[in-house]
Amino acid sequence: MSCIIRINEARPILTDTEIEIADFILENKSDVINDSTQTLAQKTMTSPAAIIRFSKKIGFSGFSQLKIELAKDLSNDSMAFDNLLDPNESMDSLLKKAYQSNIQTIEKTYGLIDSRVIERVVQEIISCRNIYLFGIGGSGTVCEDFQHKLLRIGKTSIYYADTHLQLTVVPNMQKDDLAFFISYSGKTKEIVTAAKWAKHMGMKSVAITQSAYNDLGKLADMVITIPIEEKELRIGATSSRLSSLIVIDLLYYAIARHDKEETHKRIVDTRKIIDEIQK
C-alpha cells in the first residue's frame, strides 16, 4: 500500500499533532524524503519522537521506511519514459531535463544517507581481510569502479563480471571477509542467492539497494538505501547508477582518510608506475 494512501486512511486514529505532521508530509513530499527526523520535527514544530510514533502508527517500522515508500509514490508520478525522450524538443531542452534529473538524484541520495551506517560500513571494510563485490549490469559497473578505487589504496577486493563466478566464490569466503552487494531492485536472483548463502555462512554483508525491506535488504547486515526513481520500464540504469556511484565515492573518501599518509603514499606510487609506461 502506498505511503500516501496509508496516511489518508489513518486520519481517523491520528491525534491533532499527528494530523499536522500528515498534512505537512502530503504538502511537501519531495522535501520530506530528504529530511531527517530532527529536521522534520523542526519544520512541524513537534519532536523526533513524535515523527517516529506517527510513522509507526500508519504501519511503518520507522521514519526511514516511510521515506522509502514516499519516494516510491513520487516515482510513480515522475517524468514518463516518452516525455523524457521527446523527439520534437530541442537539444537545449534535453540538456536541461538531464541536468535537473541528475541534480534531483544527487539531492535525494544525500538526503537518504545515514552517516552512522556509512561509518559502520567503512569500519567493516577497513578491518576485513578481503571485500567481495557482487553486482550485475549497471550495478556491475559500480562494482568495477569501487574495485579500481580500492586497488589504488591497497585494499584487496574481488569482483567477477561473470555471474556464475560471483556465485562460485561465496562458499569459499572466510569469516573475516566482507560481502558487498549492489542491486537497485534488490530482487536480482543471482545477487539475492549469493546474499542468502553469505547469510547462511555467517558472513558480514553490506547492500546498496532501494530499500532495507526488499529481498536483498532483509538479508544484509548493513543497508545503504538509494532513492527510488526508476520504473520497471526504463532506458537504463541512469539515476540508480549515479546514486550508487555517489555512495561508493563517499565510502572511498572515508576509507582513504582513515590513514591519510598511507593513502597518499599508495596513490603516489600507483601514479609513478603508470607514468613510467607513458614516457
Q: Could you report the per-residue pLDDT of 74-96, keeping only the tens digit for each?
A: 766 554 444 566 777 788 888 88
The pLDDT > 90 percentage for the chain reads 52
Q: Rounded mean pLDDT of the chain?
A: 87
CA 24 to chain centre: 26
Q: Could you report the per-residue pLDDT of 148-186, keeping only the tens digit for each?
A: 999 988 899 999 999 999 999 999 999 999 999 999 989
Confidence class of residue 8 from pLDDT cuts 50, 70 and 90? confident
220 φ, ψ (degrees, to nearest 5):
-85, 150
The pLDDT > 70 percentage for the chain reads 92
Q: Could you report the per-residue pLDDT of 46-63, keeping only the tens digit for each?
A: 999 999 999 999 999 999
- Is residue 243 pLDDT above 50, yes or no? yes
- Is residue 71 pLDDT above 90, yes or no? no
Average pLDDT over residues 18-47: 91
More confident residue, 99 or 260: 99
Average pLDDT over residues 87-109: 84
CB burial of 232-254 (b: ≥16 within 10 Å; e: otherwise) equals: eeeeebbbbbbbbbbbbebbbeb
Beta strands in the chain (DSSP E): 131-134, 157-159, 178-182, 204-209, 222-225
More confident residue, 206 or 105: 206
Residue with cell 573518501: 253
